[in-house]
Amino acid sequence: MRVVRRHLLGLVGLCIVAGAVTAALGAPLWASHDPIAGDFAASLSPPGTPGHPFGTDQLGRDVYARVLYGARIALFIGFSTVVVTAVVGGLVGLVAGFFGGWLGAVLMRVADVQLSFPFVLLALTINAIVGLGLRNTIISLSAAGWVVYARVVRGEVLSVKQRDYVQAAAALGTGRSRILLRHVLPNVAPSIIVVGSLQFSQFIVAEAAISFLGFGVQPPTPAWGSMLSESRDFLYVAWWLAAFPGAALALTALGINLVGDWLRDVLDPKLRV
C-alpha cells in the first residue's frame, strides 16, 4: 500500500509537470490572445467573460494567455538555473571533494559564507547589482544557488572516494581523471539529479518572489511574479489577477516537489536536502 501511494504521488507530480510543460510549449496554440497586446475596452473583465476564461487585467490583456506564457518564463528560468548550478556547483564539489587542497578549502569557505545568508535575499542583492531582465535573473539565481550542489556533491565524493572499487582502481594504476570520470561521477550522478529536482521548484518560486518585489523579469513580459506584483493594486476590484498566476505557480511547484520527493525515494533515500 505504501509503495503504491509513493509511486502514485510521483505519478501525480509527473502529470502536473507534463501539464505545465505542455502549457508552456504550446502556449500560442492554447491561447487565442496575445499576452502583451491590451484592449482597453475590455479591461478588468471577470473570469468567464466570453473569450477570456480567466478574465482580463487592468490593460485588458487576457489573463489566461498571460498565465500560459508565464509558464514558459518560469520553466525556462528554473531549468536554466538548475543546469547552470548543477554544472558549476557539481564541478566545485568534485574538485573540493576529490582533489581537496587549498582550492577546495577556499571554495568551501566561500560556500559557507554564502550559506550564512538567506537565499532569496542573496539572489535579490545580486540581481540588484548585475541588473534586471531574464538573463540576469538566471545569473543571480545561479550565483546564489550553486552552493547547495557544491556541498552535497563534495560530501558524496568524499564518501565514494573511500569505497573499495575506487581504491582498487587506484591501486591498479588507473589515472586520476579516469577514476573521476568512470568511477566517481556515475556514483554521484543520482544525488545531482535529486538535488536538481528539489532545487527546481525553489528556483521557480524564488524567481517569482524576486519579480514580485520589482526586480528580476520586468513587465510587460508575462512572468507570474510580476503579474502578482501588479495585481496588488487591484486586489479590491479584481481577485482573479492574483488568483490565477499564483495558483499556476503553486501547482507547478507542487508537481515538481512531488517528482523530486519520488526521485529521492527511488534513487537516493538517505539524502536530506
Partner 1 sequence: MRAYVLSRIGQTALVVFLALTAVFFLVRLGGDPVLLFLPMDIQAKDVDEFRQRLGFNDPLAVQYGRFVARAARGDFGESLRYRRPALGLVLERLPATLSLAAAALALTACISIPAGVVAAVRRGSLWDYVGTTGAVLGQAIPGFWLGLMLIYLFSVRLGWLPTGGTGGIVHFVMPCLVLASFYAARMARLTRSSVLETLREEYVLTARAKGLAEGLVIGKHTLKNSAIPIVTLAGLETGQLLGGAVITETIFAWPGLGRLTVQALLNRDFPVVLASVFVISVTYTLVNFGVDLLYGWLDPRTRREADA
Contacts to partner 1 by CB under 8 A: 2, 109-110, 112-113, 116-122, 124-126, 128-131, 201, 205, 208-209, 212-215, 228, 231-232, 235-236, 239, 242-243, 246-247, 249-251, 253-254, 257-258, 261
**Nearest one of 200, 194, 216, 126 to 228, comparing CA atoms:** 216
Considering the complex, state which of residue 79 and residue 239 has its C-beta at the smaller distance from partner 1.
239
| 25 vs 113 by CB, closer to partner 1 | 113
DSSP lists the bridge partners of residue 56 as: 62
The least distance separating partner 1 from the CB of residue 124, rounded to whole angstroms, comes to 6
Q: How far apart are CA 191 and CA 169, in angstroms?
A: 22
Q: How far is the CB of 126 from partner 1 (least distance, A)?
A: 7
For partner 1, the closer CB: 185 or 243: 243
Specify the residue, 64 or 119, whose C-beta has the smaller distance to partner 1.
119
Residue carrying the nine cell digits 539572489: 123
Q: How far is the CB of 266 from partner 1 (least distance, A)?
A: 17
Torsion angle of alpha carbons 261, 264, 266, 269, nearest 10°? Answer: -120
- Minimum distance from residue 270 beta carbon to partner 1 (Å): 12
- Please, which residue, 117 or 165, has the CB nearer to partner 1? 117
> What residues does 62 pair with on adjacent strands?
56
What is the sign, positive or negative, of the torsion defined by CA atoms of 215, 216, 220, 225? negative
Return the number of other C-beta atoms located less than 10 Å from residue 46's C-beta.
13
Of 65 and 124, CB closest to partner 1 = 124
Residues 122, 141: Cα–Cα separation, whole Å: 9
Cell of 9: 504521488
Q: How far is the CB of 84 from partner 1 (least distance, A)?
A: 18
Angle (nearest 5°) at CA 269 between 263 and 273: 80
Could you tell me the smallest distance in angstroms from the CB atom of residue 39 to partner 1?
Answer: 25
134 is written with which cell numbers? 531574464
